[in-house]
Amino acid sequence: MREVDFIVIGSGIAGLTFALKAASQGHVVVVTKRGRAESNTAGAQGGIACVSSEEDSFELHIRDTLTAGAGLCNEAVVRRVVTEAPGCIAELIQMGVEFDRYAKGNIGHDLGKEGGHSKRRVLHVQDFTGLAIERALLRRVSEHPNIELLENHMAVDFITMKSLSDEQSSTQADVCVGVYVLNERTGIVETLRSDVTFLATGGCGKAYLYTTNPDVATGDGVAMAWRAGAVISNMEFIQFHPTCLYHAEAKSFLISEAVRGEGAILIDARGERFMQKYHPLAELAPRDIVARAIDAEMKQWGSKCVYLDITHKSADFIKRRFPKVYETCLKYGFDLTQRPVPVVPAAHYQCGGVKTDLNGETTIAGLYAAGEVACTGLHGANRLASNSLLEAVVLANLCFKKIMNSRPSSGQKFALPKWQSSRAEEVSEMVIIYHNWDEIRRIMWDYVGIVRNGQRLQQANARLRALHAEIQGFYQKFKPSTDLLELRNLITVASLIVKSAIQRKESRGLHYTLDFPEKNDSNYLHDTDMRIDPP
């Protein structure tokens, strides 16, 4: 057993921001299951929202966030995140993030505009903002003597007081006191002990067949917190990004919403623009509306995609503002400057997650969460574009301040038990894992997608329940591996999405069901909270 001051699980913007803060107070171990730069943060193109101009205001940003959230945002959280934003942006700039500025005179930042925003307020580094932030934070982390970064280590399960012996837990509330971690190189599950565990594992896009997310986004943090007994909220609200490149080899490459913010339009298979039929803001409507509109147009005309057209802009502007998008599209045979490119929606962002308060505190003492894995109340039923990186950095800061003001302590010293496992067999054929992985993702795409209904949700629930029993059998029989642990987490988070969707018998934000196509404020103007008792 290793005892450390702070455990951080995840190496995106939330995890690294918290690690850098906490390192001023003690030794920090950052656990990341792949390479240190593999995260949803690194793939974020659009930018980070922050009031930065005289024509904008906190009240406008707050209003836009609340409108997108369809009645489920926590206004106090929205207000705090929006007003804390300028200070957090200043810290990122101090760490070396160079947000784009206007070419002439270098007067201020070149602010982008995205769907749902009433003003230009999106700071960006061309179209690879997340990568620029990730690199700046990693440089600081790599140089800090108090931060130890464990790559190729995967968190398995939290260790809580209630999961220990009756003698240790009989008179105490549930407290997280550590985590079991698989060292992928040795195959050994190690024990980390700390009074502070900060969860920042990102989302669960890989639960769907088509997603903009990297391979690491398997819902690990939500699944671990669920097994430990934490409250999980609003998992029915999965955001589908409207415009992903439609190509067999592109792996759902995301074409940033900022492209539409700079004037790109959506056209159908006949070459006709259609978004004005669905919303007054047309292409700049909130993402849930744009994604459903594309889905409807594809079904109406029997087409496999729609098209994004920005050819009316100069080639120089497109190449300068969107170099990554331009080069990637060109790689697959589409010149963004010459003709429209084919796009489809794909699973993009998890608006629900581990329920926390404004300081990142979960319902288990000693366990904190921030970023996409957490449900803070900021996003409600639908995330406003470019609020995700903002939420992650603000909540990481607020969480650190809270911990410093009331440092948690278990109040006693004790040794945590070693990982106990009767599993002695290696997985004989990986096909059994890959087949189940593929089946989960197809079930979720076909039955729990942009448009849902009760029958499909019940079918998904029944099949996932059978798969869960099968996968649990694998977990008990075989030695732990990253693939097996990800599969275990994936079936858990997929089941949570389905069960949450079944509970919400209305349409709100990202959850749209044909059975109940209208909002029902009298019965469903609240979070969908789910919890189990820990083992």
Give the active site residues.
Answer: 287
d(CA 421, CA 191): 13
DSSP string, 146-199: TEEEETTEEEEEEEEGGGS-HHHHTTS--BEEEEEEEETTTTEEEEEE-S-EEE
Angle at 360 between CA 358 and CA 363, to 5 degrees: 100
Question: How many C-beta neighbours within 10 Å does residue 94 have?
Answer: 9
Q: 205: which 2 tokens?
A: 């896009």
* Strands 28-31 and 147-150, bridge-based pairing: parallel
Query: Where are any strands of DSSP class E within 351-453?
Result: 353-355, 367-369, 374-375
Alpha helices in 206-286 (DSSP H): 220-228, 257-261
What are the phi and psi torsion angles at 159 (to 5°)? -105, 120
d(CA 528, CA 504): 7
Contacts of 500 (CB under 8 A, 6+ apart): 234, 235, 236, 352, 528, 530
Q: 362: which 2 tokens?
A: 């979960």
Query: Does residue 356 contact residue 197 with C-beta atoms inside 8 Å?
Result: no
Q: Tokens 């429209």 — which residue?
A: 340
DSSP string, 386-410: T-HHHHHHHHHHHHHHHHHHS----
